[in-house]
Chains A and B, each alone.
Chain A
Amino acid sequence: MATALPGLPSLPPQFKPIQHHLRTAQEHDKRDPVVAYYCRLYSIQTGMKIDSKSPECRKFLSKLMDQLETLKKQLAGNESVAQEVVGNAHVENYALKLFLYADSEDRSGRFHKNMIKSFYTSSLLLDVLSVFGELTEENLQHRKYARWKATYIHNCLKNGETPQ
C-alpha cells in the first residue's frame, strides 16, 4: 500500500526501508527541524543507493531533494546544519536522550506506546548518524538493543503479556 507523505509523490515500493525515517522527519519538522533535516538527508542518500534510475524513484528523490534544499535555506545560520560535525552531535544527543528515556521507563517497569516509540525512533536516528560516517561500536549496540526492545515490548503488549 502506498504511504502518503505530504509534499511527496507516492513512496515507491523500493523505498520501503526509508519510509519510517521520512515519517520521523515529518514528525520533527516543528519539534526539531535539525533532526528533520538530517532524517531527510539520510533518506535521500539511502534512496539513491537503492534506486536512482527508475523514473518513479528519480521523481520521488527529486521532490525529496527540493524539500531538503528548501529546508536548508530556512535553516540558514543554524550551525547544526551549516557544520555537519555539529549536526552529528545534535542528532546523536537527541537519539541517546530518547534511548535513555525509554530505557528508564523499561527499567521502572512502565511499558507503554510512547516508550516503544522512543526506543524505535532512537534506533532510526542512530541509522541517520551513518550520513556522518561509520557508526561507533557503542551506537551500533544501542541501535540493535533499541530495535529489539521496541519489537519485543510491542509484541508483549499486543499479546497481553508482561515484558520481562
Chain B
Amino acid sequence: TGSLSASVASTEQDELSQRLARLRDQV
C-alpha cells in the first residue's frame, strides 16, 4: 500500500510539473 500511495503521489507530482512546463511553454 505504501509503494502504491508513493506511486500515486509521484504521478500527481509529475502532472503538476507538466502543467507548469506547459504554462511556461517549455514543452
Contacts and interface: CB of A to CB of B under 8 A. Distances in A.
8 pairs of A and B residues whose beta carbons are closest in the complex:
A52-B13, A53-B9, A65-B19, A58-B12, A61-B16, A52-B16, A72-B23, A68-B23
Nearest to A47: B16
Nearest to B6: A53
Interface string B7-27: 001001100110110011000
B23 A69 contact: yes
A84 B13 contact: no
Given A44-B20, A48-B17, A65-B20, 7 more contacts: A41-B24, A48-B13, A52-B13, A52-B16, A62-B16, A65-B16, A65-B23
Please classify how large the interface on chain A is, using the bins under 10, 10 to 19, 20 to 34, 35 or more. Answer: 10 to 19
A84 B17 CA distance: 18
Contacts, number: 28
A160 B13 CA distance: 49
Please classify how large the interface on chain B is, using the bins under 10, 10 to 19, 20 to 34, 35 or more. Answer: under 10
A104 interface: no
A68 B19 CA distance: 10
Interface of A: 41, 44-45, 48, 52-53, 58, 61-62, 65, 68-69, 72, 84
A44 B24 CA distance: 12
Contacts of A72: 23
A65 B13 CA distance: 12
A52 B19 CA distance: 13
